[in-house]
Chain A
Amino acid sequence: MKRVLSTFLRLLLTVTLPCALLACGGPSPVEEATANNVLLLGNGAEPKALDPHLVSSVGDSNILLSLFEGLCAFHPSDDNMSIPGAAESWESNEDYTVWTFHLRKNGRWSNGDPVTAHDFVYAYERILTPAMGSPYSSMLYFLKNGAKFNQEEIDSFDEVGVKALDDYTLECTLEQPTAFFPELTKHTTYYPVHRATIEKFGSMTDQFTKWQRPGNHVSNGAFKLKSWWINHSVVVEPNPYYWDKDTVTLKEIHFIPMTEFTEERAFRAEQLHYTYAMPSNLIPWYGEHYPDLVRREPYYGSYFYRYNTTKPPLDNLKLRQALAYAIDRNAIIDNVTLGNQTPAGGFTPPTPGGYQPPTPYSFDPEKARQLLQEAGYADGGEVPEFEILMNTHESHRAIAEAIQDMWRKHLGLTNVSIANQEWKVFQSTIIEMKYDVGRAGWIGDYMDPTTFLDMWRTDDSNNNTGWSNPDYDRYLKEAALEPTPEARLAKLHAAEEILMAELPVLPIYWYTRNYLIHPDVQNWNPLLLDHHNYKFIHLKAAPPHPFFKR
């Protein structure tokens, strides 16, 4: 018996030990990757597509940023700057309604074909064609008749405000004056697509074709698609025909879908250069012990609650305001979210050197109680029952519980309950307006306050609060026509003041991006929009860091 057992144990050891030794002997994955100029990025969720006309999530657009290049491109360190991309130069008419882009002659697709103005016209036609069903086509509504064509009010794409004047000159005519239009052309929805490739694998509007596959995919950015393993990684490699290929030093970028908890473990095991996010409870620890590894940067996003203004008790403006004053945002940030977020006294996040939103809502329990009285409740206990609804996630629950507690403490509200729903269920509940108070987060698509303010227009599909104000709609429209950027921002400010006065939303904080980054990664700069132009990123082996023990 003993002999049999010992034989077995020996067998087990001989099988497993070499595996273990093989794994631990060599350099860590990050060391090896740095040596080979391979960047390993945590990237949140698995991309739904690598077609610029089909994506809508942040993680997906991160990958597209490496593969494609818009007319203008992202500056490595300044969100407000647009650097030449597919276009060498651009200019507009006086009222910013017509923009002319001069494409570079040496622009090439990853298969060697030249990038022409026709590629852009084709791309814009594709995304706006109703049959395409592009989820983010509304970004192109800035173009004249873009909305009408997309909503089948007009049939001919010729009426849409985009035209190739010649192979290398693209003219965009806009619905209304848009000074920040170059900013928009950096967005994934404005990227060109390679017509021949798309039509080789299907018709223009086919969502489901194989053109996005490695080997088929053709792009015009600094990188091209090398491999795509679902729920494992998307790997890109330099585009050999890219016009600025000498700037590119990375040999590969791996975009790896991971949850924040796993990412942190992978980072510690030196399997990732960069984590997309990190567990909030670890932020203070890293901040204290390894501040060089953790980054905490303002992010162009707003965390807030929607109020359902169509049904009691939250149809009561004074009550909504009272609730807003009764929240100690600093306490939430210091004790719950732990990520150096900025308390949001208003809705739109401020832009350094740019738009500054009105921020009327600071913590003021005195005023909150007074407003509660004015709302018609002598005591918080009289406020009828309502519910905070969120999508299922620990961090959302923790915030909701803190807010529930503050309302109880400062206003005496006893009838607030908390409920969570699975993501898709939650979204349909919000859209159908079957909620009282609903959690929300909004990340700006481009550097302009309208990316936040547009959603509160009457009947905007993202409004979902039942709130509507004609003055607000009018101000947004008029802002576009203002002759100077300053005057335009002033008008937007006035609009946001209406929003804050009538308060269909409860601002909580403005986002901060907290993430871990390996010292080997160079030129990774803080960006409010977090859109990194990967051609500027490079890797250099840093001295061994005490944090990585192996």
Chain B
Amino acid sequence: MFRFLLNRLLQSIVALIAIISITFFLARAAPGGPFLEEKAIPPHIVKQMEAYYGLDKPLPVQWLTYMGNFIQGDLGPSFGNKGYTVNEVIAQGLPVSLTIGLGGLLIALGIGVPIGIIAAARQNQFADYSLMSLAMMGICLPTFVTGPLLSIYLGIKFGWFNATGWNEPSDWFLPSLTLGVFYAAYIARLSRGGILDILRQDYVRTARAKGVPEWRIMVRHTLRGGLLPVVIYLGPAISGLISGSFIVENIFELPGLGTHFIVATTNRDYTLILGTVAVYAVLILTMNFLVDIAQVYLNPRLRSSTAPEKA
């Protein structure tokens, strides 16, 4: 177990360094630069600014400097937000993104899993068909459609929530719902499939033969195994929730990392691009790491890495 975790940790670190380096060079390879404005800045001024930020040095030197600072946790000054370090910009944006991401995850699970359970328990009946059609719709609708729709109906028409922005305690709900609905649909399908798969297992038949009531079969014998696909999916889902927040934060004008990342990209704010990518990468790697652990917990077979494979 420990060895496995150590292994994954090392893998994650290597992945992180690779991601940052690739992003570093990709960002630099993109045409344009942070000091290119519609009203042109005279070249001698651009030179001064490049010198100020160290952009005049050879690229490998810049990369080494950056990595050196990165290891010490210093993500450098933001080019686009004068006077703010990237650490500070991220410190402002991360809680917002995490709130809506976590909210989205809870909504996705809170809606998806029960729907999946109901559909599986009523397989091939009306409830199953109608819920699964609903889920299919949820999957087909991209967030840039559901987001504005929710904003217009729940925000403007009914006035239950603010249509945009990040000002009141309830403002997490619409963005999280937008994010969550898509994944709820997916999770509903996954959990239905997973549960049906388990319901077909011999040991469920054994439980029935023992006289175990149906609800207990669902809760005790089916859910843990049946939700395993959902747990495995949580890794990609969390990555999706995070990258989905690019769009959703934009739709709702939230001051989160996704917005920072998009603005940074259009501004060629190199340090902020790298900083946000690094944070995303760390988040995603951590989540996958946690999902690995959860998987081991849910499947006792994986717990002992010592059992020899039977020949």
Question: For the complex, what is the distance from the CA of A448 to the CA of B35, rounded to whole Å?
Answer: 27
A26 to chain B, nearest CB (A): 10
B121 and A24: CB pair below 8 A? no
Q: How many residues of B contact A (CB 8 A)?
A: 70
On whether the beta carbons of A424 and B266 are closer than 8 Å, the reply is yes
In the complex, chain B residues whose CB is within 8 Å of the CB of A232? 92, 166, 254-255
C-alpha gap A405/B190 in the complex (Å):
50
Q: A19 to B83, Cβ gap below 8 A?
A: no
- Tell me, rounded to whole Å, the shortest Cβ–Cβ distance linking A205 to chain B: 8
CA distance A271 to B268 in the complex (A): 31
A413-433 CB contact bits vs B (8 Å, 1 = yes)?
A: 000000000111111110100
Residues from 380 to 438 in A contacting B, C-beta threshold 8 Å: 422-429, 431
Given A424-B32, A425-B30, CB of A135 within 8 Å of CB of B37: yes
Is A179 close to B, CB under 8 A? Answer: no
Interface stretch, picked from B212-220, B236-244, B283-291, is B212-220
Measured CA separation A4–B217 after assembly (Å): 13
A24 touching B118 in the complex, CB below 8 Å, given contacts A230-B255, A424-B31, A461-B43: no
- Docked Cα-Cα span, A427 to B254, in Å, equals 28
**Of B93, B110, B155, the contact of A12 (CB 8 Å cutoff):** B110
Query: Which residues, 15 to 60 on A, are CB-close (under 8 Å) to B?
Result: 16, 19-20, 22-24, 28-29, 45-46, 48-51, 54, 56-57
| Across-interface contacts of B68 in A (CB, < 8 A) | none
| Minimum distance in angstroms from B182 CB to a CB of chain A | 18
B146 at the A interface (CB under 8 A): no
Which residues of A lie under 8 Å from residue B121 when comparing CB positions? 1
B38 sits at the interface (CB 8 A): yes
B82-A550 in contact (CB<8A): no
Determine the distance from Cα of A151 to Cα of B215 in the docked complex, in whole angstroms: 81
Chain A contact-residue range equals 35 or more
Find residues 143-179 in chain B having any chain A CB closer than 8 Å to their own CB: 148, 151-152, 155-170, 173
Q: Which residue of B lies closest to A211 (CB)?
A: B83
Contact between A48 and B82, CB atoms less than 8 A apart:
yes
Contact A46 B263 (CB under 8 A): yes
A8 and B114 in contact, given A23-B161, A137-B45, A265-B148 (Cβ under 8 angstroms): yes
Residue B277 interfacial (CB < 8 Å): no
> Is B49 a contact of A207 with CB atoms below 8 Å?
yes
Answer yes or no: A213 CB below 8 A from chain B CBs.
Answer: yes
Contact between B259 and A19 (Cβ–Cβ < 8 Å)? Answer: no
Among A152, A210, A259, A269, point to the contact of B44 (Cβ < 8 A). A152
Task: State whether the Cβ of B33 lies closer than 8 Å to any Cβ in chain A.
Answer: yes
Q: Are A256 and B165 in contact (CB under 8 A)?
A: yes
Closest Cβ of chain B to A5, distance in Å, is 6
Chain B 269-283, CB-CB to A under 8 Å as 1, else 0, gives: 000000000000000
* Chain A CB within 8 A of B58 CB: no
User: In the bound complex, what is the Cα–Cα distance between A151 and B163 (angstroms)?
Assistant: 49
**Chain A nearest CB, measured from B254 CB (Å):** 8
Determine whether A77 belongs to the interface, using a CB cutoff of 8 Å to chain B.
Answer: no
Q: How far is the CB of B7 from chain A (nearest CB, A)?
A: 38
Q: Is B77 an interface residue (CB 8 A)?
A: yes
A4-B215, A135-B37, A231-B263 known; 19 new pairs, CB 8 Å cut-off, are A1-B117, A1-B218, A5-B118, A24-B159, A136-B41, A138-B42, A150-B44, A150-B45, A208-B82, A232-B92, A256-B165, A265-B164, A266-B165, A268-B163, A271-B162, A422-B266, A424-B32, A425-B30, A462-B40
Residues of B within 8 A of A (CB): 30-33, 35-46, 48-49, 52, 77, 80-84, 89, 92-93, 110, 114, 117-118, 121, 148, 151-152, 155-170, 173, 214-215, 218-219, 250-256, 259-260, 263, 266-268
- A-B pairs with lowest CB-CB distance, top 4: A424-B32, A232-B255, A269-B163, A49-B82
